Amino acid sequence: MIIYFVRHAQPDYKSGKDDYTFELSEEGFMDRYEASRVLDDVKLDAAYCSPYKRAIQTISPIVDSHGLSIVKDERLRERDHGECANNADMFRKRWEDHSFHEPGGESISDVQERYVSAIRDIVRDNPYGTVLVGTHGTAFCAFINYYNNEFGFDDFMRTINYMPWVIKVDMSEKKIRSIEEICFVEKEYHGLK
């Protein structure tokens, strides 16, 4: 089965009160069409997404052009962040110890458990299909690491500014057969503190 994962475009962290309500920035609204353009000729059978507004807004042009509706799945959301969550030292600690989390936050292992469960259900429900998944940076990278433990902190940091980021994954219920980065727009990650 083929899954096209689309990490959201650049958010505006002043546009909402929490992770569920942050919208895309003005640039993010424009950049999302790059993700849509590269998937114009791909036949998609279904679309799944995190319930976060920025993820939904990013894939909406793709979903609309393919005549699909979005199935929201809470398990596809981004990692719950806690206190002092968005800085390189914390990123490194989480990627070096997957059980580590800051107060009030989720560990990489926690994210993997729920995210992999969601993707396995998607694969089971669409065994021969091609689907779209609206996603987030840490959640997607944790998913890749689950199947390939060589993918870690450096890879995460390489992709932190990719908004949007489109990745084609060929997989079965138990393994990833191949991963191909289709496109990305490089934007500064403003979540760092």
Tens digit of each residue's pLDDT (9 = 90 or more) over 111-151: 999 999 999 999 999 999 999 999 999 999 999 999 999 99
The two structure tokens encoding residue 191: 């979540």
Determine the pLDDT at residue 54. Answer: 97
Per DSSP, which regions of 19-161 are E strands? 23-24, 46-49, 70-72, 130-135
The CATH code belonging to domain 2-186 is 3.40.50.1240
Asked if the model's pLDDT at residue 23 lies above 90, the reply is yes
Burial of 29 (0-12, 13-18, 19+ CB in 10 A): middle
DSSP string, 23-51: EE-HHHHHHHHHHHHHTTTS---EEEE-S
Beta bridge partners of 131: 3, 46
User: What's the rounded mean pLDDT across residues 57-79?
Assistant: 97
d(CA 121, CA 133) in angstroms, rounded, equals 12
What are 87-117's pLDDT values in tens digits?
A: 778 889 999 999 998 888 899 999 999 999 9
Mapped onto helix, strand or coil, the DSSP state of residue 135 is strand
Determine the pLDDT at residue 192. Answer: 46
What are 69-81's pLDDT values in tens digits?
A: 999 999 999 998 8
User: What's the rounded mean pLDDT across residues 27-41?
Assistant: 96
User: In sequence order, which residues have a C-beta less than 8 Å from that of residue 144 and are 6 or more positions away?
Assistant: 151, 155, 176, 179
